Structure 1
Amino acid sequence: MARAAKAVQPDFKGVCYAPDGSHETFAAEMSAELGVPFTAMSSAEEMCGASDVIYTQTPGSTTCVEKSWLKPHATIICSGSDQPTKQEIPTDILKASKYVSDLTKQTSKVGELRSAIADGSMTEADVYAEIGEVCNGSKPGREGDELIVVDLTGTGAQDAAIGQVAWEKMG
């Protein structure tokens, strides 16, 4: 994700946190590789407070952010290892956000949406858009300072397209 961010926003400043302490090494490696400042933060709360865009990449069943930690205009991109027990994001954040799924039927089963449906705070009808609708322009993306959550569970077509772009860039 840091490499992708560099490709679209060359002058970004990265911050990171990992509860196992690996963020110190990650920050040093990404700073050296990408040539942009990367700072290891002392907590997830500190990292969120310094971030406009947050990438979560966990397989965990314990949430890793809290709504009170977020900037009002934050974008959270959830791309961890999805499974029926995973929940990176608390459901109050999902409900308060402009929620975008890759495939709603899939995120309702193995993505973040599953937990919000289970606790009754959201339904599939509360999904703002699927990512393809934003990409093709049929629904607008950011329209102001709203909180946005993008839940990426992985789809075969998207994975193939990403793989094709990577192949072309490396070839």
Structure 2
Amino acid sequence: MSPWKNVSVLRKLVQLGAFLFLVYGGSLTGYYLEDKLSGALPALSCAYDMQGADLCTLIPFQHQMDHRLGEAIAGGGNLMLGLMPTLITLATFLILFAVLNKAFCGWICPLGTFQELLHNLGQKLGLQRVESLPSAAVQRIRPVKWLILLLLVFGLPLLAGIGWVNHDLGDPFCKICPSRILTT
């Protein structure tokens, strides 16, 4: 048997175990263990799923932008007290992202596992990938994707904390996140 076949089988087992644990593991470990795991894993496992054993790193990040940093700016409070938790959360995520890169999405992330299952199902059904835009158009609109993400993750939570927009916009990414749709 090829060594790559062994890695592929191992990866599928790790994906399945991680998916079950991160999405439904809260039933075994308890809801409050999430906070401990989330500090260690940059998972996109939705915090609105009460059965999960992990939660998305964007939840505490958006909360810190809204409630700590935004309120510190609006109220004239200690800016470093509001900024430090946000920077620590962001730095932890970026370090883990840099170290693990796409390996995390391919081995552990519940959303990555679900995407791969859909891809495999499409291949088995004989569905072909449809390229809807030419690559030049994709290159032109790619920056817009990143601007929208920055607005949803950084901009609106900060503006909600300052009080310039409605507090309901404190966690806008969570309202459209595909992981929330998948797991809740």
> TM over 0.5: same fold?
no
Which has the larger share of helix?
2
Which has the larger share of strand?
1
When Rg is computed on C-alpha atoms for both structures, the one with the higher figure is 2
